[in-house]
Amino acid sequence: MKATDGSEDAKRRAGESAADRVEDGMVVGLGTGSTTAHAIRTLGDRVEAGLDVRGIPTSYQSRALAREVGIPLVTLEDALPNVAIDGADQFAGAHLVKGGGAAHAREKFVDASADRLLVVADETKRADVLDHPIPVEVLPDAVPVVERAVRAEGGDPTLRSAERKDGPVVTDNGNLVLDCAFGPVEAPADLAATLSATPGCVEHGLFVGLADELHVGGETVTVERV
Ligand code: 5RP
């Protein structure tokens, strides 16, 4: 799993806080990453204690963890989520940068289909203006085309390398990832629309206005409606 900055305790507090929002009978979108993993484990404990929920995973990682902790799984064909719980690489109010785990394509359609998205993060992820590099999932053959389009928008794309494999990261969908540094993103909706319209871009990690509630872990946890 990729390294992140926040303390494990802070992430755990955030994850537990969001998992406590889940009620009997709900369908829950299960995001990806180390903070969401705490929420999934907490939900697993609650299922063992009798909570009736069904999960919709967003990645190989969240599916495997949900199975390990005993959360029954369904697909979007069975039901849409009442709530989704997901992490972020950076948040500014309801806007997010996601995709540090290269799962943002599935995360986006699961999170967007939920009635409410609860974001779990530690304080190190907070920003006034998003400036984290934006992951863009790209069809392998389209890398040069998307790189050129990103540069034309003032971005600096870097093909994400795998850590324990030679060559690039390959997503759960068989695609590659360009991490695109744009500096401060003052108009996230405009950049999101431009990236979405780029041929060869499968999905990007700008989640514009999607968050409903932030569960932010530090020494304690704060819950913010956005
Ligand atoms: C995966 C994601 C993750 O939610 C994001 O990278 C945050 O992960 P973590 O909680 O490990 O910092 O978007 O694609």
Point out which residues pair with 120 in neighbouring strands.
Answer: 215
Residue 120: inside a domain: yes
In a domain, 1, yes or no: no
Q: Give me the number of domains the chain comprises.
A: 2
Q: Classify residue 76: in a domain, yes or no.
A: yes
What is the residue-wise DSSP string for 91-106?
A: EETTEEE--TTS-HHH
> What is the CB < 6 Å shell around ligand 1?
4, 31-36, 86-89, 98-104, 107
Q: Are residues 55 and 158 in the same domain?
A: no
User: What number is the average pLDDT over the span 188-209?
Assistant: 98
Kindly state the average pLDDT of the residues 54-58: 98
Say if residue 110 is in the same domain as residue 169.
no
| For residue 1, pLDDT beyond 50 | no
Domain CATH for 109: 3.40.50.1360
> Which residue has the CA at smallest separation from atom 4 of ligand 1?
87
Q: Ligand 1 centre from 207 Cα, in Å?
A: 13
Q: Is residue 153 part of a domain?
A: yes
Task: Give the residue carrying structure tokens 């695609």.
Answer: 175
Summarised one tens digit per residue, pLDDT across range 158-170 is 999 999 999 999 9
Of 111, 122, 121, 120, which is closest to residue 28 (Cα–Cα)?
111
Same domain, 58 and 89: yes
Owning domain of residue 14? 8-126+209-225
Burial of 197 (0-12, 13-18, 19+ CB in 10 A): exposed
